[in-house]
Structure 1
Amino acid sequence: MRTPLLGALAAALLATGSAVCLAPAAAVPIPGGQATTLFLPGADGVPINAVITAPPDLAEHRNPLVLQPSGWGMPAVGSIGSAYKLSSGEGFVSIEYTARGMYLSGGEVDLLGEKDAEDASALIDWAIANLNIDPDRIAIAGGSYGAGMSLIAAAHDPRIKAIVADSPPGDVTEALAPNGTPKTGGPIALTVAGAATNRFSPELVTHGLDAIVNHNANAFAALPNRHLLAKAIPQLNANGTAVFLAHDWQDSLLPVGPIYSMFDQLTGPKMLYVVPGDHSTGGGAGGVAGLPNSIWDAGLRWLYHYVNGADNGIDREPTVNIQPANTVSLLPDPAALVHFSSVGAAEFAAREFALSAPGGGVMGADRGESWSQAMISTPTTAVAAIPYVTGSLAQLGLAPAIPLGTVDRNAAGVWRTEPFAGGGVLSGTPHLRITAAPPGPDLTMIGILYDESPDGTGKTISYWPITRHGLTPGVPATLEWDLAPTYWNLAPGHRLTLTVTTQDPIPFESSTPMGSTVVFGSPSAVELPVSGS
């Protein structure tokens, strides 16, 4: 006598036909349920490799369904820990699957395109037809690339009632080339991570090579879903989808900025967690291994309530849950969180600090002061971050401190506030307005805001670059840009220090010619959402 899951497996073999060359395993009993791996039919018949985890009484009643798309360069078991918790705890059927074009799934990588969204709908169709699924209790959950897959799928298919997305891409172009400034390793890291397992279309190869070889910041501008979150929000609102988002403050691959700035645009049930760490380090252990984790524990409760109707109180909890970016977040600590009704409620009003000539280095100078000072475009010790390292260390409370006295004042503008005697909190998005005369038509500037301790060392609070083209050489231009949002506790006696440089080669590629002269000038200022004095 075959199990219900094994019967579904046989149906999947018939559906995918000759496209499948590997025989799937039989359903395997696991504590509290059963699991198997197989191939399911995608939107256009492309075989999608999947792992199904189900409760033991699958055939006895209608079951809730959660799709769990894998991350970039990861196989279908990328969320096995959360899948097991969902199937053994609240009776969910979990379909973990690898996106088309990756690992054993057929087709070519769609990079969060329409085919990826249609595949999710096809898997839902198949599950309803074969796994005794309740069509009114369907969810999707994922991390990183899988979180982006979850956003586009839920926007596309109104049957998806709830979503959990940990560290999703908010804007693909901005993630790879923020403000027109190519990241040094972003496209390369994604290519290396997927080179051995992914099948890229000729078009995607062209875009990737253009970004890597030609350093073209606009290489991915033609992607249909590059503004992924902005495109998804209107449809998520129309569908009434219950949206749970989580992110990491220091994420160097898929930055938190778009998620943080657009979260309040969601009008349905919603919740946000932001914690210290680099890409997907805050929630990764909870999703992949099922370990105790504040993000995934809350995310599972989100699904239990909005899909299964569990009265667990999560709908009455604060909407925005923040752990300050300079606190340790390796282990779940609910006491470390601060709570708000919205992102807007968490942000402080901005205070403008006029900048003096860098030679004086005053943040909070006389606004009427007129000055100019030449800088040489060359690297110095003002380094924004080491991708995948700085943020991971921050999660452990080990973020590196830079001796700010070693920053070459001939290569970077450096400005400092007075010490905050009683400490303070920086909550929101710092904004820079810098006047500079470029040496040529192209200019890159990188702003870094530090928490400077009394010993003169500084830890990176926030940073971001900007690149502008078509400027007139030697003619002052005003560049305005936001740094990354943050929530940072400033200790008594510490001060805020800003550096602006034109070369920071570890995280970013610069369009400012090395060795050229850039003239900084007035008026220049920084707006900081900071409390305290």
Structure 2
Amino acid sequence: MIRRAKWVVCQLLVVVLLGSGAAAAAGGDGFTTRFVTVPAADGVGLGAMVLEPRTPGPHPVAVLISAWGGGATQNVIPAKNLADRGYLVVAYGARGFGESGGAVEVAGAADIADVSTVIDWALANTAADPARVGVGGVSYGAGIGLIAAGADARIRAVASLSGWADLAESLSQNETRHGLAGLVLYLSGKANGTLSAETEKMLTKFLTPHLSDADSEAIIEWSKPRSAVSHLNRINAHRPAVLTIQTWSETVFPPDQMVSLYQSLSGPKRAEFVPGDHASSESGGLLGLPSETWDSVYRWFDAHVAGTDDSITRENPIVTRARPGTQEPETHPDWASAVGEPSRWELPPAEFTLGRDTPANGGVPLATYSLEALTGDPPTAFLPLVSKRDAAIWQQAPRTTPTHIRGALQARFTVTPPARTGTVVAYVYDVDQFGVGRLINYLPYSWKDAEPGRPLRIDLAFAPTAYTVPAGHRVALVTDSKDPLFLDWNLEEGELAFSGPSWLDIPTKGSQG
């Protein structure tokens, strides 16, 4: 009943926003709007919103897939904008969410088949052009759309916004689970949809405090077919034009996997990286605000679906916008050109007590870096409050000129663990003259079978970023052992000692201060 009431409210909102479809692009005759239920092969009904141009077809097709928890009207503003450009738009809620029946399978086989079902329906019931089909989505819809491009050769272009390429890598990094993000996923899925028995089982298992190796392996196996990297050969065989837009500070789907995917794609491709957190760069456009992110989607579809404007294909395909603030975008012909040369910082010995938290942390999922996207200010920590009993702290001398960090920081620690299991979290800060650190990046690492008292090598490859450290500021590295974001393996307290060789490589372009 609650979901049905939401559906009615959304329909009324759409009527207000779209009217009768009379709002037209210059020289056009507008479009009609209707709500339908698309029958899937297994009998599940998919709630969909269809915007069809009044002009004679055939029309280029844009299929928009809802994000996690959303329904057919979630993408109403992009749908209207695409319809104004002459597209036949079918926006639908993924099964188990919104007005759609069935259960949430997390980009399972049925979800992927649903994309083809919606395309089939459009070709059979509208003046859709089978040779001009594009698929797009935010987050959950992005992941489904990417995989679907490997299953359906009719998909000529994909717009993946805040999506994922490797689900297992998104859930866990360096044997450390993203517990808080997983909890948000689980609770929001329960509140806004119907989880399948398998999804419920896997997410519950994922949130178990001390996961067994067998359960960990089960989650990895469950994740594989739900990852675009597992379908890469088929995606490349179909050669869809793929646009990916990712935020630097993604709490849910870190940008490094999109860099890897981009480099592995053989068809037309473009990748944009901007400040913010999961879905923050596209949220404004979903609300009807000006959006460079959605403008890129429209231009990408115009070039590779409608064939009306190919100007975006003549631009550099890598676009980055540095932090902090709203710096001008930097464009590059390839990823190698976007990253800097590493400068090594040797770290002296240090030690601290495992198992205690400090003010250093990665922020609140989906909130901290979304705020950065709005204000331009990264999350901060007052480093003088970070106890050296509970963390190791290294700081460089103040920079004499701005330092342009571009690419992935790399670290190596040589530590002597006090226990068989444990976790450390490393944070890199931009510190001003008052000791306020602005978070550049962070990464966890866990060990589960170390020999206490014997040196252990820890290698960290941070997600890539673009961050400019101002002149007069210094770079700091902090490691502690707890963060609310992660499910750690610190089962007992003890002294963790750092020795040589330990270092941090900072990739920089231009002046290094």
TM-score normalised to structure 2 length: 0.90
Q: Contact between 1:173 and 1:226, CA under 8 Å: does it hold in 2? A: no
Query: One-letter code of the match for 2:20?
Result: P
Distance 1:474 1:374 in 2: 15
Structure 1 counterpart of 2:3:
none
Distance 1:475 1:227 in 2: 39
Structure 2 counterpart of 1:305:
303
Distance 1:233 1:349 in 2: 30
Distance 1:376 1:486 in 2: 28
Q: Contact between 2:353 and 2:493, CA under 8 Å: does it hold in 1? A: no
User: Following TM superposition, by how much is the alpha carbon of 1:257 offset from its aligned partner in structure 2, in angstroms?
Assistant: 2.1
Q: Which moved more, 1:337-346 or 1:374-383?
A: 374-383
Q: Contact between 2:354 and 2:490, CA under 8 Å: does it hold in 1? A: no
* 1:313-352 Cα deviation digits (max 9, x unpaired): 1110110111102123xxxxxx711111122210112222
User: Following TM superposition, by how much is the alpha carbon of 1:529 offset from its aligned partner in structure 2, in angstroms?
Assistant: 0.7
Q: Which moved more, 1:119-128 or 1:215-224?
A: 215-224
Q: Give the one of 65, 74, 85 matched to 2:61.
A: 65
Q: Contact between 1:80 and 1:290, CA under 8 Å: does it hold in 2? A: no
Q: Which 5+ residue runs of structure 1 have no aligned equivalent?
A: 1-23, 329-334, 359-372
Q: Contact between 1:417 and 1:496, CA under 8 Å: does it hold in 2? A: yes
Distance 1:86 1:43 in 2: 28
Q: Contact between 1:108 and 1:200, CA under 8 Å: does it hold in 2? A: yes
Q: Give the one of 35, 44, 47 matched to 2:45.
A: 47
Structure 2 counterpart of 1:326:
324
User: Following TM superposition, by how much is the alpha carbon of 1:312 offset from its aligned partner in structure 2, in angstroms?
Assistant: 4.3
Q: Contact between 1:220 and 1:226, CA under 8 Å: does it hold in 2? A: no
User: Following TM superposition, by how much is the alpha carbon of 1:454 offset from its aligned partner in structure 2, in angstroms?
Assistant: 2.0
User: Following TM superposition, by how much is the alpha carbon of 1:514 offset from its aligned partner in structure 2, in angstroms?
Assistant: 4.7
Structure 1 counterpart of 2:361:
383
Q: Contact between 1:182 and 1:215, CA under 8 Å: does it hold in 2? A: no
User: Following TM superposition, by how much is the alpha carbon of 1:102 offset from its aligned partner in structure 2, in angstroms?
Assistant: 1.8
Structure 1 counterpart of 2:116:
121
Distance 2:127 2:354 in 1: 68
Q: Contact between 1:113 and 1:225, CA under 8 Å: does it hold in 2? A: no
Q: Contact between 2:419 and 2:492, CA under 8 Å: does it hold in 1? A: no
User: Following TM superposition, by how much is the alpha carbon of 1:227 offset from its aligned partner in structure 2, in angstroms?
Assistant: 6.5
Structure 2 counterpart of 1:74:
70
Matched, 1:443 2:422: yes
User: Following TM superposition, by how much is the alpha carbon of 1:173 offset from its aligned partner in structure 2, in angstroms?
Assistant: 2.2
* 1:448-495 Cα deviation digits (max 9, x unpaired): 100111222110001110112111122111011212210011111211
Q: Contact between 2:189 and 2:195, CA under 8 Å: does it hold in 1? A: no
User: Following TM superposition, by how much is the alpha carbon of 1:282 offset from its aligned partner in structure 2, in angstroms?
Assistant: 0.8
Q: Give the one of 428, 451, 460 matched to 1:472.
A: 451
User: Following TM superposition, by how much is the alpha carbon of 1:103 offset from its aligned partner in structure 2, in angstroms?
Assistant: 2.8
Matched, 1:178 2:173: yes
Q: Which moved more, 1:391-400 or 1:427-436?
A: 391-400
* 1:360-406 Cα deviation digits (max 9, x unpaired): xxxxxxxxxxxxx4534311122232222320222112333322122
Distance 1:235 1:342 in 2: 23
User: Following TM superposition, by how much is the alpha carbon of 1:260 offset from its aligned partner in structure 2, in angstroms?
Assistant: 2.4
Identity %: 28
Structure 1 counterpart of 2:235:
236
Query: One-letter code of the match for 1:220?
Result: I
* 1:478-523 Cα deviation digits (max 9, x unpaired): 011212210011111211110111122x212210235332222222
Query: One-letter code of the match for 1:241?
Result: P
Q: Contact between 1:377 and 1:515, CA under 8 Å: does it hold in 2? A: yes
Matched, 1:56 2:85: no
Query: One-letter code of the match for 1:94?
Result: V
User: Following TM superposition, by how much is the alpha carbon of 1:177 offset from its aligned partner in structure 2, in angstroms?
Assistant: 2.2
In the TM superposition, 1:224-303 aligns within 5 A as 224-225=223-224, 228-286=227-285, 288-303=286-301
Matched residue of 1:78: which SS? coil
In the TM superposition, 1:51-200 aligns within 5 A as 51-57=49-55, 60-89=56-85, 91-200=86-195
Query: One-letter code of the match for 1:239?
Result: H
Matched residue of 2:100: which SS? coil
Structure 1 counterpart of 2:329:
337
Distance 1:197 1:387 in 2: 18
User: Following TM superposition, by how much is the alpha carbon of 1:132 offset from its aligned partner in structure 2, in angstroms?
Assistant: 1.8
Query: One-letter code of the match for 1:92?
Result: Y
Distance 1:424 1:51 in 2: 48
Q: Which 5+ residue runs of structure 2 have no aligned equivalent?
A: 1-10, 24-29
Q: Contact between 1:85 and 1:290, CA under 8 Å: does it hold in 2? A: no
Matched, 1:512 2:490: yes
Matched residue of 1:387: which SS? coil
Q: Contact between 1:43 and 1:121, CA under 8 Å: does it hold in 2? A: no
Structure 1 counterpart of 2:7:
none
Change (3 A) 1:234 1:420: farther
The root-mean-square deviation of aligned C-alpha atoms, in Å, is 2.0
Distance 2:295 2:118 in 1: 25
Structure 2 counterpart of 1:369:
none
Matched, 1:350 2:342: yes
